[in-house]
Amino acid sequence: MVSWIISRLVVLIFGTLYPAYYSYKAVKSKDIKEYVKWMMYWIIFALFTTAETFTDIFLCWFPFYYELKIAFVAWLLSPYTKGSSLLYRKFVHPTLSSKEKEIDDCLVQAKDRSYDALVHFGKRGLNVAATAAVMAASKGQGALSERLRSFSMQDLTTIRGDGAPAPSSTPTPGSGRATGKHGQPKMSRSASESASSSGTA
């Protein structure tokens, strides 16, 4: 466990951060020699990181495995051994040069296939989303119609009857006989005069 922690710290500090800072200086100073040197290192380090992912799983039981990793990173960085430049010039560059066309063709095909797959899955996702939206809308409409059907015609009539205004009991002018103060009907003036004249006769 201690060896694993130490190896991770060494790889992080001396294998990643230290070269990153000197790569920044090479870019800033526009020194072609330093630029090429650190580019070769990063190519080798990328291959080392890829291989490390699998060797950490299958070779971690090997004696002095983590110590060998630390020694390998130090060998890559050392200005005396120039391990990264040596590996690049002797192995990586010749291999990539001979297989460059095949690698480019594979990358183009992978790019096209990934784009087609992305478009295909995007269309399927849109279709699924549209179908789900239509189903949700139809279910909501069905629930609303069932809710409306639950009211019978009698319930609707009752609701409408309760909401209608009651007829007014106030008589319209001239529709009935005029009443007096105490509800007695008033006699007209001509009728009262005829009654008094007949009484005096």
Q: How far apart are CA 180 and CA 124, in angstroms?
A: 88
Is the CB of residue 73 less than 8 Å from the CB of residue 84?
no
96 in a structural domain: no
Residue 4: the pLDDT is 78
89 in a structural domain: no
pLDDT tens for each residue of 119-168: 777 777 777 777 777 777 777 666 656 665 665 544 555 555 555 554 45
Task: Between 34 and 127, name the one with better pLDDT.
Answer: 34
Query: Does 71 lie in the same domain as 136?
Result: no
Query: Does 110 lie in the same domain as 50?
Result: no
Query: Does 63 lie in the same domain as 1?
Result: yes
Residue 103: phi and psi, rounded to 5, are: -65, -40
Flag whether pLDDT at 58 surpasses 80. Answer: yes
Task: Between 152 and 65, name the one with better pLDDT.
Answer: 65
92 in a structural domain: no
Residue 89: phi and psi, rounded to 5, are: -70, -35
* Average pLDDT of the chain to the nearest whole number: 75
Flag whether pLDDT at 173 surpasses 70. Answer: no
Query: Does 147 lie in the same domain as 113?
Result: yes
The β-bridge partners of 153 are none
119 in a structural domain: yes
Flag whether pLDDT at 172 surpasses 70. Answer: no
Query: Does 74 lie in the same domain as 20?
Result: yes
Query: Does 16 lie in the same domain as 77?
Result: yes
Domain residues for the domain of 115 are 104-157
Express as a percent the part of the chain with pLDDT over 90.
25
Calculate the alpha carbon distances from 52 to 32, 56, 70, 194 in Å: 30, 6, 12, 135
Query: Does 8 lie in the same domain as 47?
Result: yes
pLDDT tens for each residue of 70-98: 999 999 998 888 899 999 999 999 998 88
Token pair, residue 160, equals 């409408």
pTM of the model: 0.56
